[in-house]
Chains A and B, each alone.
Chain A
Amino acid sequence: MSSVSRRVREDAKAEAAREYEEDEEEEEKREGAIDDVDDDDGGTTSGQIGRHRRSRRHFGWSGVDVDVIERLPTPYGLVRYGVAPDHPEVKNVEREYASMFDVYGSDYDVQGEDYKDVDDDDGAEGEGRRKQRATCTLSYFGNVDVGKDVSLSHLESTYDVVVLAYGCQSSEKRLGVPGEDVLDGVLGAREFVAWYNGHPEFEHVGRIVGRCLPRPSSSSSSSSSSTSSGGGGGGGGGGGGRGVSPARVVVIGQGNVALDVARVLVKGGTGLVDTDLPNSVMEILGDGVSSVTVVGRRGHVQGSFTIKELRELTRLKDDGHDASFVVRNEELDLGMTKSSISELKSTSGRPKTRIDKLLREAATSNDDAISGAAKQVELRFLMNPIRFEPNDRDGDRVGRVIFERTNLVGDPFDQKSIGTNVVESMPADLVLVSIGYRGMPLEGMEEGVFDDRRGVVANVHGKVVGENNLFVTGWIKRGPSGIIGTNISDAKETVASVMEYIDSGDVVRPPYSRRRGRVGLAEILQRPYVSWPRYLKIDAAETDRGRLRNDAQPREKLLTVDEMLKAAFEA
């Protein structure tokens, strides 16, 4: 199990994930390479049109051309490959992003395609667009790998300013316990998410998952396994549960990504039929798995999940997914150390207090919950994984996770989990590890620019340290944390730094920069790149009614780069 390390340049603003915090997918800020900066009104890279206008008031620039470079053919990064299929509202930022291309899309086209001609717009709106277009243009370059198709240093000399927004895509943090690398079926949660979202580089994960999840049992014998849910495997009453896999999945982690994977596993393909979950994933997930246990090393007060995602899990049954939600009062009590109580009482304690209340309510309604449901999601706390053990039937695959019970020790906001030597063995057909992400240096980055300890690019308010024209925004600037709002202000800070840099130095020699910007980039690129209109062709192919399994499905994603390019370049 090795996570593919990817160096990507991702789009910014469009990468929502409000729901993701610490060890999770995240919103990434669009990166732009700005060229041809003239003197007057300036525009911005990341941010809305509104912000653009605001900056135009404050800085006297006449124009900014922004190019967004992305390794995959499709933009949006984690909005497309991180946000869960059943959270479509989080993907709404795509609309804003797309509308920016509508307004600012450059009609300069190195490949000779037809761009939407803004001059065709009648009326005030068209007039406004023409005015805006005159001073700021936006281009998209998909299918361009920085490091392979164009070097970072080439970009730095071709553009006035280069903003890096490629997020934290490296291999996830390791647990460092026996069996982690050797046994089949121990995966990073991030890879699992990328797979169920149809990421072109994670198709192989589907084969592993398919191997590890036992087929739904065709007999109607109810299982009396002591550690799994009260409900049996196949053949539950009332039509539900016939195709539920008797798999037991263990998710290690306490963030929203951990909850996402639990929810997707329990809903199964059937429960996600109206989403953009790809067909091939639907087949493998079937009607869901019978048991998912989400295990955290610390207590529920320390968990980085947010209440919206937790509440969603408590409502699975009501929403018709035949899945109960279980949490143990004893473990909630165990986590309520004096320090935890202080944490709840602090100024930032309100969200945690509400989480505590929600979980307590869930714990007391456990007895009703367990009986009758074919599937179960359980949250466990204060358990530290110490070993993975092989499956009795197939020694190459994982079969059990051995946990050590922990206690919380320490001051408020600094509590650590200390082992107690009490162990518990949890059966597991599949293990998903969700404990954090790290950034990686981009190929060609200079020494000293990447802060290895923190896993981010060293910067001051978004300006990369050293003599260069590099900037950073998003996770690769701050580390993998925050929500939509955090990224908006992050982007503003970086943009302010960019403007300061341009205003103060002589990066740009009026009236025109000598750098060649997108013309220069296009000359360097050997392979065809995906422009915005070409991306719209991919979008159209994915949303083509003929391809969809039902009326509600928003899109059936193309799962390989080849298919995407084929759609993009179709006449």
Chain B
Amino acid sequence: MASIFRRPLSTLSPVAFRRLQQIPTLRRLATTMSAAAAPVDVLRRFSSTTGDDGGVIAKQTIKITYIDPSGEEHSVDAEIGKNLMDVAHDNNIELEGACGGELACSTCHLVFEKEIYDTLPPKTDEEEDMLDLAFELTETNTYLRRPTFHFLVPVLVVKFVSQERWKGSKLEFLTMDTDQSE
């Protein structure tokens, strides 16, 4: 079962962060901020690198797979609580992130499989705006034939969906390489 994920940006700009704060649910707040931008108490909930007693707790990870534009698969241990751009970069996966996670480009977007996509929180206007550009530039015939869904948001790995569903899931990322329309 290949799941393909659309991967979002790693960090939010201060403006985006402020906007998110206006959204009532903590769940939303948690799931749409990168680990780096999250307030400390939320961070503690999702990452587990140090325990309260000062000892180091093993990081919780799940295995996910990134599929690069050439079709090559890269299986990695994704640290729970980290966003998918950082996970990729930590594992030397060559996912572009031209604007550094500021929602100012569309080079880091990933494609998710529908059933995972459906569990992800709704995208903000800013994300959809950037996705407009990705759409235009990456839609190709082969792409449209697959049941794929574009998604572009900072997401903490496996916070709000069961780990079981994400385990072994595959994230496919597209770059301009796959754009045939130019």
Interface residues of A (CB under 8 A from B): 16, 18-19, 48, 50-51, 53-54, 87, 89-90, 92-93, 95, 306-308, 311, 347-348, 350-351, 354, 483-486, 488-489, 492
Nearest-Cβ distance from residue A103 to partner chain B, whole angstroms = 15
Q: Does B105 contact A (CB under 8 A)?
A: yes
* A489 engages B175 (CB within 8 Å): yes
Chain B 46-82 interface 0/1 with A at a Cβ cutoff of 8 Å (1 = within)? 0000000000000000000000000000000000000
CB pair B98 A488 closer than 8 Å: yes
Neighbour of A311 across the interface among B100, B129, B137, CB < 8 A:
B129
CA distance A18 to B99 in the complex (A): 9
Taking the complex as formed, is B118 at the interface, i.e. its CB lies under 8 A from any CB of chain A?
Answer: no
Among A348, A350, A488, contact of B176 (Cβ-Cβ < 8 Å): A488
Pair B133/A89 contact, Cβ less than 8 Å: no
Complex A-B: 12 CB contacts under 8 Å: A48-B96, A50-B94, A89-B100, A92-B99, A311-B126, A347-B144, A354-B128, A483-B106, A485-B96, A485-B98, A485-B107, A485-B176
Q: Which 9 A-B pairs have the closest CB atoms?
A: A489-B176, A89-B102, A351-B132, A50-B94, A92-B100, A18-B105, A89-B104, A308-B129, A484-B98
| Chain A residue nearest in CB terms to B13 | A89
Q: A19 vs B96: C-alpha distance in the bound complex, in angstroms?
A: 17
**Least CB separation from B89: chain A residue:** A50
Instruction: Give CA–CA (A50, B102) in the complex, Å.
Output: 20
Q: CA–CA, A488 to B95, complex, Å?
A: 12
Most A C-beta atoms less than 10 A away, residue of B136, B139, B177, B179: B136
Nearest CB in chain A: distance from B62 CB, A: 24
Query: How many residues does chain B have at the interface if contact means C-beta atoms less than 8 Å apart?
Result: 31
The answer to whether B99 touches A485 (Cβ under 8 A) is no
Interface residues of B, dominant DSSP: loop
Q: Do A95 and B100 have beta carbons less than 8 Å apart?
A: yes
Q: Mark B123-157, 1 if CB is under 8 A from A, else 0.
A: 00110111011111101000010000000000000
Q: Are A486 and B137 in contact, CB atoms less than 8 angstroms apart?
A: yes
B106 neighbours in A (Cβ, 8 Å): 18, 483, 485
Does B107 contact A484, Cβ atoms closer than 8 Å? Answer: yes
Q: Which of B167-182 contact A (CB under 8 A)?
A: 175-177, 179, 182
A307 to chain B, nearest CB (A): 5
- By the criterion CB–CB under 8 Å, are A16 and B176 in contact? no
Q: Distance in Å from the Cβ of B139 to the closest Cβ of chain A? A: 6
CB pair A485 B175 closer than 8 Å: yes
Asked, given contacts A483-B105, A489-B179, whether A311 binds B125 with beta carbons under 8 Å apart, the answer is yes
Contact between A488 and B94 (Cβ–Cβ < 8 Å)?
Answer: no
Q: How far is the CA of A351 from the CA of B135 in the complex (A)?
A: 8
Most chain A Cβ neighbours within 10 Å, of B104, B144, B175: B104
A90 touches B107 (CB 8 A): no
Q: Mark B105-129, 1 if CB is under 8 A from A, else 0.
A: 1110000000000000000011011
On chain B, the residues within 8 Å of A350 by CB distance are: 132, 135
In whole angstroms, how far apart are the Cα atoms of A142 and B125 in the complex? 40
Q: Encode B1-22 as 1/0 by CB contact (under 8 A) with A.
A: 0000000000001000000000
Complex Cα spacing A19 to B129, Å: 11
Task: Output the nearest chain B residue to A319 by Cβ-Cβ distance.
Answer: B15
User: In the bound complex, what is the Cα–Cα distance between A485 and B135 (angstroms)?
Assistant: 12
Question: A308 near B126 (CB under 8 angstroms)?
Answer: yes
Contact indicator B99/A348 (Cβ below 8 Å): no
Q: Could you tell me if B132 and A87 are in contact, using CB atoms closer than 8 angstroms? A: no
- Nearest chain B CB to A87's CB is how many angstroms away? 7
A18-B106, A486-B182, A488-B96 are known; give 16 further A-B pairs, CB within 8 A. A18-B104, A48-B96, A54-B94, A89-B13, A92-B100, A95-B100, A306-B133, A308-B129, A311-B129, A348-B136, A354-B128, A354-B129, A483-B106, A484-B99, A485-B105, A488-B107
Give the one of B100, B103, B105, B135 with max A CB within 10 A.
B105
Structural contact, B177 and A492, CB atoms closer than 8 A:
yes
A354: nearest chain-B partner, CB-CB = B132
| Neighbouring B residues of A348 by C-beta, 8 Å | 135-136, 139
State how many angstroms separate the Cβ of A254 from the closest Cβ of chain B.
16
Contacts of B105 in A (CB 8 A): 16, 18, 90, 483-485
- Which of A53, A485, A489 has the largest count of B CB atoms less than 10 A from its CB? A485
* A488→B105 CA distance, assembly (Å): 12
**B100 CB contacts on chain A under 8 angstroms:** 89, 92, 95
Are the C-beta atoms of A93 and B137 separated by less than 8 Å? no
Q: How far is the CB of A484 from chain B (nearest CB, A)?
A: 5
- Residues of B contacting A18 in the complex (Cβ-Cβ under 8 angstroms): 98-99, 104-106, 133
| Whole-angstrom CA separation of A19 from B132 in the bound complex | 12
C-alpha gap A92/B176 in the complex (Å): 20
**In whole angstroms, what is the CA distance A354 to B131 when docked?**
11
Interface contact A307-B129, CB-CB below 8 Å: yes
Measured CB to CB, the closest approach of chain B to A228, in angstroms, equals 30
Using A54-B94, A311-B125, A488-B176 as known contacts, say yes or no to A483 and B102 having CB atoms under 8 A apart. Answer: no
Are B104 and A90 in touch, CB under 8 angstroms? yes
Q: In the complex, which of the residues A19, A89, A347, A348 has the most CB atoms of chain B within 10 Å of its own CB atom?
A: A89
Residue among B128, B134, B179 facing the most chain A CB atoms (10 A cut-off): B128
B177: chain A residues within 8 A (beta carbon): 489, 492
Contact B133 A16 (CB under 8 A): no
Could you say which residues of chain A place their CB within 8 Å of the CB of B129? 306-308, 311, 354
Q: Is the CB of B99 within 8 A of A90?
A: yes
A351 near B133 with CB under 8 A, answer: yes
Asked if residues A92 and B137 are in contact (CB atoms below 8 Å), the reply is no
Q: List A contacts of B107 (CB < 8 A).
A: 484-485, 488
